Structure 1
Amino acid sequence: MTDKPKDTPGDSGTAAAGRGVGSPYDSPTGQFPRVGMSKDVPRTEEELGLDPDVPTVGEKTAPYSYASIPAAAAPGGPSSALRRRAAENRRGTLDFGLFVLRLVVGATFLYHGLQKLTGWFHGPGFDGTRDMMTGGGWDHATLSAVLLTTGEVLGGALLVLGLATPLAAGSVLAVILNAWLWKQGMIPGFQYSAAVKSGVEMDSILLGASAAIILTGPGRWSLDRARGWAIRPAWGSFVVLLVAVAVAILTFWFLHGGNPLTGIGPFD
Structure 2
Amino acid sequence: MTEKETGRGPDTGSSPYDEPTLSMRRDRPSMLESDDDLGFDNSALDGSGSVYDGGAYDGATYAAPTEQIHRPDRSGTAVEPAAVVKARRGTLDLGLLVLRLAVGGILIAHGLQKLVGLWGGPGLDGFEELLREAGYQQPGILAIVGAVGELAAGAFLVLGLLTPLAAAAIVAIMINAVLFKHELAPGVQFFAAEQTGFEFEALLVAAAVALTLTGPGRIAVDGPRKWATRPFVGSFVALLIGVAAGVCLWIFGR
Q: Normalising by the residue count of structure 2, what TM-score does the alignment of the two structures yield?
A: 0.69
1:148-159 matches, cutoff 5 A: 148-159=146-157
Q: Distance in 1 between matches of 2:64 and 2:117?
A: 59
Report if the CA contact (8 A) 2:172-2:243 is conserved. Answer: yes
Amino acid at match of 1:109: L
1:78 has 2:62 as partner? yes
Q: Distance in 2 between matches of 1:229 and 1:94?
A: 15
RMSD of Structure 2 on Structure 1 (CA): 3.0
Q: Distance in 2 between matches of 1:176 and 1:154?
A: 15
Structure ranking higher in strand proportion: 2
Structure 1 residues 76 and 215: alpha-carbon distance in aligned structure 2, compared to 1, 3 A threshold: farther
Quote the offset at 1:226 in angstroms.
2.0
Q: Which residue of 2 aligns with 1:97?
A: 95
Amino acid at match of 1:165: T
What secondary structure sits across from 1:189 in the alignment? coil
1:167-186 matches, cutoff 5 A: 167-186=165-184
Quote the offset at 1:244 in angstroms.
0.6
Structure 1 residue aligned with 2:143, among 142, 145, 149?
145
Amino acid at match of 1:188: P
Structure 1 residues 197 and 234: alpha-carbon distance in aligned structure 2, compared to 1, 3 A threshold: same
1:189-200 matches, cutoff 5 A: 189-200=187-198
Structure 1 residues 185 and 209: alpha-carbon distance in aligned structure 2, compared to 1, 3 A threshold: same
1:188 has 2:186 as partner? yes
Quote the offset at 1:188 in angstroms.
2.4
Quote the offset at 1:79 in angstroms.
4.0
Unaligned runs of 5+ in 1: 1-35, 37-41, 54-63, 68-72, 257-268
Which of 1 and 2 has greater Rg?
A: 1
How many residues align structurally?
A: 199
Report if the CA contact (8 A) 1:144-1:255 is conserved. Answer: no
Report if the CA contact (8 A) 2:212-2:239 is conserved. Answer: yes
Percent identity reads 40
Report if the CA contact (8 A) 2:63-2:84 is conserved. Answer: no
1:27-176 matches, cutoff 5 A: 49=8, 75=59, 77-79=61-63, 86-88=85-87, 90-176=88-174
Quote the offset at 1:76 in angstroms.
7.1
Quote the offset at 1:180 in angstroms.
1.1
Greater relative contact order, per chain length (Cα 8 Å cut-off, separation 6+): 1
Structure 1 residues 112 and 185: alpha-carbon distance in aligned structure 2, compared to 1, 3 A threshold: same
Q: Distance in 2 between matches of 1:124 and 1:80?
A: 56
Unaligned runs of 5+ in 2: 10-14, 17-22, 27-56, 69-81
Q: Normalising by the residue count of structure 1, what TM-score does the alignment of the two structures yield?
A: 0.66
Q: Distance in 2 between matches of 1:160 and 1:97?
A: 13
Structure 1 residues 80 and 124: alpha-carbon distance in aligned structure 2, compared to 1, 3 A threshold: closer
